[in-house]
Amino acid sequence: MSIANTEQPNYAAYSIEELEDVLENIDKQAFPERYQAAKNELASKRATQPPENDADSAHHDEHVTRPKWSELHPITRISNGTFFVLIGALFVTAFTDFVVINAWLNNSTWAIVLLTFIYSALYYLSVFLDKRHGQFVTKDLRGKMTLVGMPLLAFFLSFSFVDTALPYTLHLASDKQKTERKFAYEKGSGSKQCRHPLLLKENGPLSDGRLCLRESEHKRLPNKGWVYVKGYESGFGFKIERYRFR
């Protein structure tokens, strides 16, 4: 003799997939209470489940980490290395009293545009070809904004590199002669790197430049005047070593 099993299953312990399977195969006429209980439990579990996109995004952000250098695609390494060089050029621009020759600046536009294009291309290739790097870069809003603004950032960095850092590097490696020059100046607005500047006016083959002074010196000078600077001049520019006023 068989005894019918009337015990109610514990649907709370079932997964969503198991509950869906129950509802597809249960005899609704024979077990209406079980059918309704399974249906109610499925609706409850679905209501408490996070939306699919949010869950995927949370999982993605939680597990995407910065790849190690050894794990990067060669294009990504080249792109990152170029970025570090361009950032280094900013420090040369900010902390070096170097006046570039006009001939260099008059012919540097094509080099700035070319470097901007090359670096932007390397950056976007690294995001496209290096899947893990691309996931890390685009995992948040800041990374997505960088994707849009990279050409502008590349132009700014290329401008600093081509118009100051590159000629200064070539100046250091070339033949130089010690000389003294007289520049007309006017006081300029301070910045974080140079709080008390004198803006030097174009002088012969040399372009406009900047000379950073101590606060006490800056205050006692007239707004406009002349300054005598000594330094080393090459075919790429003039590195200021000392200065005096008359």
pLDDT tens digit string along 156-203? 999 999 999 999 999 999 999 999 999 999 998 887 778 889 999 998
Tell me: do 114 and 154 sit in the same domain.
yes
**Residue whose C-alpha is closest to residue 220's, from 194, 193, 190, 198:** 198
Asked whether the beta carbons of 37 and 8 are under 8 A apart, the reply is: yes
Q: Which amino acid is at 8?
A: Q
Asked whether the beta carbons of 207 and 101 are under 8 A apart, the reply is: yes
Tell me: do 117 and 181 sit in the same domain.
no
Tell me the per-residue pLDDT of 201-210, one tens digit each, with 9 for 90 and over. 998 899 999 8
Tell me: do 133 and 186 sit in the same domain.
no
Tell me: do 155 and 190 sit in the same domain.
no
Alpha helices in the chain (DSSP H): 16-25, 32-48, 52-63, 74-95, 102-106, 109-129, 131-137, 141-160, 166-173, 215-220
Asked whether the beta carbons of 58 and 140 are under 8 A apart, the reply is: no
Residue 6 lies in a domain: no
At residue 3, the pLDDT reads 45
Tell me the per-residue pLDDT of 111-153, one tens digit each, with 9 for 90 and over. 999 999 999 999 999 999 998 888 888 888 887 888 889 999 9
Residue 43 lies in a domain: yes
At residue 2, the pLDDT reads 43
At residue 177, the pLDDT reads 94
Residue 185 lies in a domain: yes
Tell me: do 156 and 103 sit in the same domain.
yes
For the purposes of burial, counting CB atoms within 10 Å of the CB of 208, is it exposed (0-12), middle (13-18) or buried (19 or more)?
middle
- The pLDDT-based confidence of 86 (bands split at 50, 70, 90) is very high
Residue 5 lies in a domain: no
Tell me: do 191 and 159 sit in the same domain.
no
Residue 214 CB partners (closer than 8 Å, separation 6+):
196
Tell me the per-residue pLDDT of 32-41, one tens digit each, with 9 for 90 and over. 888 888 888 8
Tell me: do 76 and 42 sit in the same domain.
no
Average of per-residue pLDDT values in the chain: 86
User: With a threshold of 0.85, does the pTM exceed it?
Assistant: no
Q: How many residues does the chain have?
A: 246
- The pLDDT-based confidence of 52 (bands split at 50, 70, 90) is low
Asked whether the beta carbons of 208 and 224 are under 8 A apart, the reply is: no
Tell me: do 71 and 20 sit in the same domain.
no
Cα Rg for the chain, rounded, in angstroms?
34
Tell me the per-residue pLDDT of 76-85, one tens digit each, with 9 for 90 and over. 999 999 999 9
Residue 34 CB partners (closer than 8 Å, separation 6+):
8, 9, 22, 26
Total tally of structural domains belonging to the chain: 3
- Domain final residue, candidates 156, 173, 190: 173
- Domain final residue, candidates 125, 140, 173: 173
* Ramachandran sector of residue 56 (left: φ over 0; alpha: ψ -120 to 50; beta: rest): alpha
Beta bridge partners, 206, equal 101, 203
